[in-house]
């Protein structure tokens, strides 16, 4: 029997004419929560994967690339690391990475979907690696937008690890000018706001550029960085926003000192990787500099 007939497939569509087919070794869960379609599968290549509304969120094989990139450049640059806020972050790996930093006194994570957290604990414990039960973690099941409206605390670093802001996603209301201003108001003096910010692939970077343009209204420095994430099958981009520091020119000595203090061993991020993450290709620099759509 040809191999293709043996497999069930998870097909991730990148548009009407592009797809990535992942064979499914094992299906742990498929169902709908109050907020989204959820699947937890195992692929022969990427290991366990979390899929929300048909989009890969992270895979066992390469989640450290994504989560170390999301968290550590921002924390390395932040003036104050004591209080960190994560918007979303369901799997718990963003929380895990934040808690590796010994200067973090408390990390608050607010994810809207209790079902994602429950499945992450049950099927993806490698991602959180005990972080949900760490005494420095405050895990809240709720809407991050509502939380920020009701909470008056300020945070030295805010990490947005939300799903793509597609029209029917619960993350959609968090991507607009008013909410960017609200997030800005929850940052402490000299703070850093970092967000996962869609793909930076040359043919598909419009959403990323739209986020960057809108955020420039609120911060002195808004810098893009990206890396290839194999399970996403694309270059994944992030944005770091700050009035105090331009992460693209962060002193390597600061990064080395920061990395040396982290608990446990890193897989991806260090001062050399930092340089590579922030060295953008010409096409992207041109797209980011061009005027265009904002939120
Ligand atoms: N790595 C991811 C990606 O590539 O899109 C993001 C990971 S994380 C699983 C995304 C989380 O955002 C989900 O757990 C989802 O429940 C959460 N989320 C979506 N909208 C939210 C909202 N309004 N408030 C809080 N969490 C939200």
In the chain, where the domains are located: 3-59, 63-289
Does the predicted TM-score (pTM) go above 0.95? yes
Cα–Cα distance between 258 and 266 in angstroms, integer?
12
- R_g (Cα) of the chain, nearest Å: 18
Q: Is the pLDDT of residue 3 over 80?
A: no
CA of 78 to the centre of ligand 1 (A): 23
* Residue with more model confidence, 114 or 3: 114
Of the options 3.40.50.150, 3.50.50.60, 3.30.1360.70, 3.40.50.300, the CATH number for the domain spanning 63-289: 3.40.50.150
Q: Is the pLDDT of residue 240 over 50?
A: yes
Yes or no: say if 127 and 135 are a contact pair by the CB < 8 Å rule: no
SS3 95: helix
First to last CA, the chain: 51
pLDDT tens profile 54-93:
999 999 999 999 999 999 999 999 999 999 999 999 999 9
Q: Is the pLDDT of residue 5 over 90?
A: no
Residue of minimum CA distance from atom 18 in ligand 1: 88
pLDDT tens profile 181-221:
999 999 999 999 999 999 999 999 999 999 999 999 999 99
Does the active-site annotation cover 80?
A: no
Cα–Cα distance between 133 and 287 in angstroms, integer?
42
What is the helix, strand, coil percentage profile of the chain, to 5?
Answer: 35, 30, 35
Residues 6+ apart with CB under 8 A from 18: none
Could you tell which of 57, 163, 230 is best to mutate to test the pocket of ligand 1, judged by most ligand atoms within 8 Å of the CB?
163
Q: How many residues does the chain have?
A: 295
SS3 172: helix
- Domain 3-59 fold: Spermidine Synthase; Chain: A, domain 2 (2.30.140)
CA of 34 to the centre of ligand 1 (A): 13
DSSP 44: T
Residue of minimum CA distance from atom 16 in ligand 1: 113
For residue 227, what are the β-bridge partners? 236
In this prediction, residues 282-286 reach a mean pLDDT of 97
What's the mean per-residue pLDDT of the chain? Answer: 96
Ligand 1, pocket residues at CB < 6 Å: 57-58, 66, 87-91, 110-113, 116, 143-145, 161-164, 170-171, 174, 196
Cα–Cα distance between 238 and 252 in angstroms, integer?
19
CA of 252 to the centre of ligand 1 (A): 31
Q: Is the pLDDT of residue 4 over 70?
A: no
**Residue reference for tokens 């043919």:** 203
What integer pLDDT is reported at residue 1 of this predicted model?
41
DSSP 254: H
Beta strands in the chain (DSSP E): 8-15, 18-24, 26-32, 37-43, 47-52, 55-59, 83-88, 106-111, 137-141, 155-161, 187-199, 221-229, 234-242
Could you tell which of 35, 87, 113 is best to mutate to test the pocket of ligand 1, judged by most ligand atoms within 8 Å of the CB?
113
What integer pLDDT is reported at residue 99 of this predicted model?
98
Q: Which of 62, 111, 143, 161 is catalytic?
A: 161
Q: Provide, rounded to the nearest whole percent, the portion of the chain with pLDDT above 70.
A: 98
Residue of minimum CA distance from atom 21 in ligand 1: 171
CA of 253 to the centre of ligand 1 (A): 33
């Amino acid at each position: 029997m040809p191999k293709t007939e043996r497999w069930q497939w998870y097909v991730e569509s990148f548009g009407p004419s592009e797809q990535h087919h992942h064979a499914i070794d094992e299906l742990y869960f498929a169902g709908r929560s109050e907020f989204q379609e959820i699947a937890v599968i195992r692929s022969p290549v990427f290991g366990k994967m979390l899929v929300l509304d048909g989009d890969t969120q992270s895979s066992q094989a390469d989640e450290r690339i994504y989560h170390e990139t999301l968290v550590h450049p921002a924390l390395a640059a932040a003036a104050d690391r004591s209080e960190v806020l994560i918007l979303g972050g369901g799997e718990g790996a963003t929380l895990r990475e934040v808690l590796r930093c010994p200067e973090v006194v408390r990390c608050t994570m607010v994810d809207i979907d209790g079902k994602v957290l429950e499945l992450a604990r049950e099927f993806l414990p490698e991602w959180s690696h005990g972080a949900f039960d760490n005494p420095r973690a405050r895990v809240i099941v709720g809407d991050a937008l509502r939380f920020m409206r009701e909470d008056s605390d300020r945070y030295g670093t805010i990490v947005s690890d939300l799903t793509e802001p597609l029209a029917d996603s619960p993350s959609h209301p968090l991507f607009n000018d008013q909410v960017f201003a609200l997030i800005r108001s929850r940052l402490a003096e000299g703070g850093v706001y970092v967000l996962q910010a869609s793909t930076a692939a040359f043919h598909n970077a419009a959403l990323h550029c739209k986020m960057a343009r809108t955020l420039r209204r609120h911060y002195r420095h808004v810098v893009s960085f990206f890396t290839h994430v194999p399970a996403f099958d694309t270059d994944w981009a992030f944005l770091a926003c700050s009035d105090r520091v331009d992460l693209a020119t962060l002193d390597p000595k600061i990064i080395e000192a920061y990395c040396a203090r982290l608990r446990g061993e890193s897989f991806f991020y260090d001062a050399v990787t930092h340089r590579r993450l922030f060295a953008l290709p010409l096409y992207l620099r041109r797209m980011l500099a061009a005027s265009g759509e904002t939120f």
